[in-house]
Amino acid sequence: MLKKLFGLDKKEEVEMPQADGKDLLASPATGEVVSITEVPDPTFSEKMMGDGLAVKPSEGIISAPVHGEIMQLFPTKHAVGIKTVNGLEVLIHIGIETVNMQGEGFKAFVQEGDKVAKGDKLIEFDMDLVNEKAESTITPMVITNGDIVEQMEKHEGQNAVGGETTVLDVTVKQ
């Protein structure tokens, strides 16, 4: 209530870059970047949701991989969808079988409609709890509208810093 009264609930306005057909996506989490085929869930490993990659996180913080708008925040806070200025739709899914946790151990720092900058904290999660109650902490990041992708270069097999290290270089069709 006090936050609303004094305007403290207002986030700084994020300056969105101009659409140029190219998106450089950072890792959504700090950890080891691996192939999407290593995700122990066929929905992701067989690219049913789209192509991308995954991160084996070393800490429970999910950061914005790119400037964009939060299009979807699942009520259970285990997944978030971002749309870039180039129209790329990016889904970040924290862990496998985490939907069954019903939001326990997850804290969101954004809501649908928020504009975010690369590196902004989106979600925190309790890695120990996810390891205990879900199948895996591996976090897929997929492009769900691959039909607009002209070219995608993946930078797998590296240790990345969430919100900083570029892991996907995507060019969209003009």
Catalytic residues: 93
CA–CA dist 123, 65 (Å, integer): 12
DSSP lists the bridge partners of residue 51 as 143
- Closest-CA residue to 146 (of 72, 98, 91): 91
- DSSP string for the chain: -HHHHTTTTPPPPP-PPPP-SEEEEEPSSSEEEEEGGGSSSHHHHTTSS-EEEEEEESSSEEE-SSSEEEEEE-TTSSEEEEE-TT--EEEEE-SBSGGGGTTTTEEES--TT-EE-TT-EEEEE-HHHHHHHSSB--EEEEETTGGGEEEEEE--SSEE-TTTSEEEEEEE--
